[in-house]
Structure 1
Amino acid sequence: MESTQILKLTIQEDGVAIVEIHRPEARNALNLELRQALSETFQQLNQDSSVRAIVLTGGEKVFAAGADIKDFTTATTAQMYLRHTEQYWQSLVDCSKPIIAAVNGYALGGGCEL
């Protein structure tokens, strides 16, 4: 798991994995690091035979505020396009386990898509 703890992962005895987005200072905005961490986590959980289902959740007041606008200030439009961030959602699309979104609070933009 990421050392910055932008995701919290708990696997319960019943095989339910709980993935919590944890960037409260940014209202769980989806920056590049978080998208990569989500992708890696879902790939690992998909391969784990002890995991039967995955619950994805965020904070109590905000599930995810969408794209992190700060990411847009670090690159040109062309550089943003060339990042191909859509690739990070593919591991969620390809996941063979049931995924449940436990949405509390706001789910804006990309957070709603997620």
Structure 2
Amino acid sequence: MLSPKQVVCRWVDAFNSGDAEAVAGLYHEDAVNHQVANAPVEGVEAIRQMFREEFAAAEMVCIVENIFEDGQWAVLEWRDPLGLRGCGLFHVVNGKILSQRGYWDKLSFLRQHGLPLE
């Protein structure tokens, strides 16, 4: 079984390839992904759809700064090529992501990608 850090490394690879199916395959069926700038997304199907929409809207790249692991948790500190920085907390149970919280500046992201401000 994969450790939380190994799961997050696979998540980064799938994210960077823009593969919503591969990303979604790393989550439990009843997982919750809460990017705190947005409402929580519940369930693997909704998470899959979220990533499809996000990958279609902007080219995103996650450059790993650090990954820390403690028990069932992994923390990812990241940056992107445009200078945005953030971190994600992943609760991994039995080799799958049960919950994820992400912290980043949504306004900077929208401006950097030329997306409409909400």
Greater RCO structure (CA 8 Å; 6+ sep): 1
Same fold (TM over 0.5): no
TM-score normalised by L of structure 1:
0.26
Higher strand fraction: Structure 1 or Structure 2? 2
Q: Rg larger in 1 or in 2?
A: 1
